[in-house]
Structure 1
């Protein structure tokens, strides 16, 4: 029922954002671990390209965690608490936006099934 490009894009975005939140939580959990390199998860450009090219969105977007290139501290750890906090807040807001889009989609279907009432 929800096989259109918009639905696939929202599902993919929700999956990616959830993964990014886990990566950020792992970074924060390891903020005092010597030698730990922060992870990053960027998928928006792939998602944008898949939608623009009419590709199969869910199979076209890869969620590959990369390592941060921020300079490490003396203990070799490069987790920056300010950057992680901002990233976590941004990811949370984006996730809420995608949930709202999905909720609106279900609301439209409900309205149609009720005959516009």
Structure 2
């Protein structure tokens, strides 16, 4: 419905942040699983490049395993890191939602005249 650069950029950012939230939840759920390597989601550089090219729909969301050192059981999930990352991701998600809300507010204003 809304295919302008701003709307697609907000959608791409929300999609990437939602994926990051799911990966963080998976990391926390597997904190005691021997041999589990934490996942890390990256999309910001891809989003930036895609927006600069005027094609935010070309954003790619990559999930990679962390190369951080492991504990004796081979697991490298760090609860402190995951909690802080979850808070940061939640705040970014709220910011993007605010952007969506503001966009629709402008549209409502324009429609009302």
User: SS where residue 15 of structure 1 aligns?
Assistant: helix
Q: What aligned pairs does 1:1-117 form with structure 2 within 5 A after superposition?
A: 1-54=1-54, 56-58=55-57, 60-115=58-113
TM-score, length basis structure 2: 0.96
User: 4+ residue stretches of structure 1 with deviation over 6 A?
Assistant: none
> What is the count of residue pairs matched by the alignment?
113
Q: Distance in 2 between matches of 1:75 and 1:10?
A: 40
Structure 1 unaligned blocks of 5 or more: none
| Aligned-CA RMSD value | 0.8
Structure 2 runs not aligned, ≥5 long: none
3-state DSSP of counterpart to 1:41: strand
Greater mean deviation of Cα atoms: 21-30 or 3-12: 3-12
Cα deviation, 1:24-62, whole Å, max 9, x if unaligned, reads 0000000000000000001000000011122x222x212
